Structure 1
Amino acid sequence: MQFSRVISPVENMQIWNANSNGFSFVISYETRAGPGLHGRPGFVASWRPIYENRCAIKVGGSPFGTLIEAERACDAMLGLLVTP
């Protein structure tokens, strides 16, 4: 999957997204304080089916220390989702 940075009018908000095989994946960077999203520090990955009105599900292991780790976790999750 190829993740793209989402342009946000909110200063310092860091979000990336990718779609593949009917699933949407989002990675966000969270910190405990300051601008942007708040939570446990790190890169939080989540997924949801594109064509169903369902809430997102956090990818196990989140938050990750790096964006690359979060991307790899999303790729692994996609593999599990599309395996019959």
Structure 2
Amino acid sequence: MSLLFHRAVEHMEIWSASSDGYSFVISFENLTGPGFRGSPGYVASWRPFEQSRGAIRVIGSPFKTFAEAEAACTIMLSYLTSEN
């Protein structure tokens, strides 16, 4: 099982992927400049498709690299789907 992230919003650092009933988003935050404000790094979050609730931040966010955030999302997906 793997997540294939694609850029979700043009001109912003936001990527999304979905698999097995879950949606994942990675966004880049920084203290200044365009985009989201927050601690510098890549913030990963997830939410189930069938529930209309806010996203849940992946533990460890923000990550220093996109690859670290992507790996954390894949691990979270494995955990979520192993409980079913």
Counterpart of 1:30? 29
TM-score after normalising by structure 1:
0.92
Letter in 2 for 1:72: A
In structure 1, the gaps of 5 or more residues are none
Matches within 5 A, 1:5-84: 5-8=7-10, 11=11, 13-84=12-83
Residues paired across the two proteins, number: 81
Q: SS where residue 9 of structure 2 aligns?
A: coil
Where in structure 1 do 4 or more consecutive aligned residues deviate above 3 Å? none
Aligned-residue CA RMSD (Å): 0.9
* Secondary structure, aligned partner of 1:60: coil
TM-score (norm 2): 0.92
TM-superposed CA distance for 1:24, in Å, is 0.2
